[in-house]
Amino acid sequence: MISLSTDRFFRTLSGGLFALVALSACSFPARAETDPGQIAIAVGKLLEQGHYTRQALDQSMSRQLLKTYTETLDYNHLFFTQKDISEFEKRYGAVLADELMLGNLQPATAIYDIYKKRVQDRVAKVKDILKKQKFDFSSNRTTEINRSKSSWPKDEGDADQLWLSRIEGELLAESLNDKATETPVQIVTRRYDRLLRSLGEQTKDDVTKFFLNSLALTYDPHSEYLSPAEMENFNINMKLSLVGIGALLRSEDGYAKISELIPGGPAQMDGQLKVNDRITGVAQGKDAKFVDTIDMRLDKVVEMIRGKKGTLVRLQVLPADSKGGARKIIEIVRDEVKLTEQQAKAEIIEVKGPEGEPQKLGFLTLPSFYADMTSRGKGAKSTTRDVEALLGRMQREGIAGLVIDLRRNGGGSLEEAINLTGLFIKRGPVVQSKDANKQVQVMSDRDNGRVAYTGPLVVLTSHLSASASEIFAAALQDYNRAVIVGDKNTFGKGTVQTVLEVGRFMSPFGFKQPDAGSLKLTIQKFYRISGGSTQLKGCESDIVLPSPYSALQVGEDSLKRPLPYDEVRPAEYEKWSGRPLDVGELKTRSAARVATDLEFRFLLEDTERMKERIAANTLSLNKAAREAEVKAEKARTEERKAARLASKRVDPVAYKLALEDVEKPSLTLVKVDEAEKAKARAATRRAADPSASRTDNADSEDGDEESAEPKSDGRYDPVKQESLNILADLIEQLRRGSLARARE
């Protein structure tokens, strides 16, 4: 996402929004507890008056809100029937928005109650099937994988048939799992027990959150209502730190289970808490009583474990190696935990130059454009400062060129995107924005011509590179400063959001109401300095490489209700000095390598199979057919393993460069063991496999104390390697150009 501070948002508007909301809030009664109805009114008015489209909550939006809400609850069209939907449309379609603006959330609650009843009834039927029905998996029938675009079941009988195939498919999938320790019936039964438990944990506040979030999504895919806990997580992800014990948690069989300890965090440094330990109770300070956390929602457990820096939390723990169920008490003092895995990091890679001479290339990975939104001091977390520090060390090591990897960068701070661009250009505009009043603003590099790196530059992108990533890549492309390499185009998110505390708009005197949540609100669209928007189109690569994402529906155009593409007048800017890059030559060389590369061949084969599976959107319910698929996959894996061994590929020498290494006298050689490679391959398959789609909320209760990016394992990455090859070609091309100019 692109985020702006609340104060800046107030300055960009004409001044009418706060006055209008405050005046309408004059009738709000003062409350010790915040009334959900009043929250709804404030959110509705903020959207009507503050959203980029200024769309009134009329009957058309009311019907759209109903559609968004029912699909939020029942994403895969499995529990509601068309009869339910028709009844909702008849009763609420024309009035749902009006009721919301009156503070009446009864329609939302009524719809949720019907959803809850449908889930409970369906799970009861599923359990009956699991007890009584026997499947021989010999039919030639199929089951649909992703039903999000399918029609609702016509009636209960139609739903029964759909679910019979679905349960048969789940049992067949588990019967093919030769590593399972339980029977297929036990595994599937437990899955639906979890769904019921998750449903039972939902509160009235959760229903309000679902509904108000649906309202925000009715305006565009990136507006969002955030509960206080979600807002806290948003701030954590932006500043890459939190105060807590430094443990990732997941929910398992009613326990909050330790899945990982953050290096350098209080829990890891204390040494008593172990991975797979289960938390059964939490107490604050020395004398407070323990609160039983068994079967408690994971977010509630996390909330109790987090707290103020320097305070004591006591955990009642069932150790992973406990034989007789004996519990122990662990006392940990909360402290700041740095989420170092999500910050900028780099490698220095040694390759052979065109004459066989040793050459060092830099590879900088940037997971997001992070910034501490709550603090602007010198020590506040900043992407630009971190990257500048890494650049300084890489240049002291003598790198000849640099790749910046944005493949998994979903965006972040607009200010950081502008400032980071400034490290690579002398001066000038970086991005343009347009607000609801059609006023265009040009935002420029403000570092007075200082350039941190002037050498050859490649920016590596993918369909997942979004928002701030697209601003950065597009600006460097427009300046002719970098070669953009990767997927055909980036995500295509060309909108700007700000985050507003809803409670600030609920009092006529500006006194903040407690626990009202926040609204992430789309207020602007942004544009390249060349005039075109990245909305829907994204930033197109100069050199396109085969990609695992090309088969998937990833991007702004795959989301519901995206804002349209348009253009503004180009800004005035001066391109990077020197002759234009000969991208044609770089393309030709790259295409020749890709055509003969073993890993790219495997990638293209996998992509084609993925496209076929997505297009079919079905799984066979015939066990023999599925076993043949599994056998073929195993054979393919073995063939590829043999081909890789025969290729005798040698990984280049690479040295890790984390922020804590910048001032160290020497760097750490990158080493990758086979266990880490296997773990990464499995993670990649899970992330890219559409057949692993969720069963609505059945598997949605996993969570953590702090969000963390999956760890990169450093395994061979053909796209990464080819970006380095392109960089080496670019270095050679620029050297030839320099020699030619010297002879002129």
Instruction: Give Cα 151 distance to the centre of its chain.
Output: 28
Tokens representing residue 454 in the block = 């002037």
Compute the CA torsion angle 549, 701, 199, 302 (nearest 10 deg): -130
Tokens representing residue 221 in the block = 């895919």
Active-site option among 198, 251, 467, 550: 467
Assess contact for 354 and 397: CB atoms under 8 A.
no
Tokens 């297929």 sit on residue: 184
Contacts of 301 (CB under 8 A, 6+ apart): 249, 256, 279, 282, 293
Active-site option among 45, 345, 381, 493: 493
Q: Cα(226)–Cα(51) distance, rounded to whole angstroms?
A: 16
Q: Output the CA–CA distances (angstroms, integers) from residue 90 to 62, 74, 96, 100, 156, in the order listed.
A: 12, 19, 11, 17, 19
Tokens 């103020």 sit on residue: 308
Query: Could you tell me the end-to-end alpha-carbon distance of the chain, in angstroms, rounded to an integer?
Result: 48
Assess contact for 362 and 348: CB atoms under 8 A.
yes
Catalytic site includes residue 299: no
Q: Cα(719)–Cα(599) distance, rounded to whole angstroms?
A: 9
Q: Cα(689)–Cα(691) distance, rounded to whole angstroms?
A: 5
Tokens representing residue 627 in the block = 């076993």
The per-residue DSSP string of 68-79 comes to: HHHHHHSTTS-S
Q: Cα(139)–Cα(596) distance, rounded to whole angstroms?
A: 42
Catalytic site includes residue 493: yes
Q: Cα(593)–Cα(623) distance, rounded to whole angstroms?
A: 41
Tokens representing residue 145 in the block = 């994988």
Give φ, ψ of 687 to 5 degrees: -70, -35
Total length of the chain: 744
Q: Cα(383)–Cα(416) distance, rounded to whole angstroms?
A: 6
The per-residue DSSP string of 529-549 comes to: TTSBB-TTT--B-SEE---TT
Tokens representing residue 734 in the block = 């620029």
Catalytic site includes residue 467: yes
Q: Output the CA–CA distances (angstroms, integers) from residue 495 to 45, 522, 534, in the order listed.
A: 20, 7, 9
Active-site option among 478, 487, 597, 729: 478
Strand-pairing partners, residue 347, are 363, 656
Say how many C-beta atoms besides its own lie within 10 A of residue 720's C-beta. Answer: 20
* C-alpha closest to that of 486 among 402, 421, 554, 547: 547
Catalytic positions are 467, 478, 493
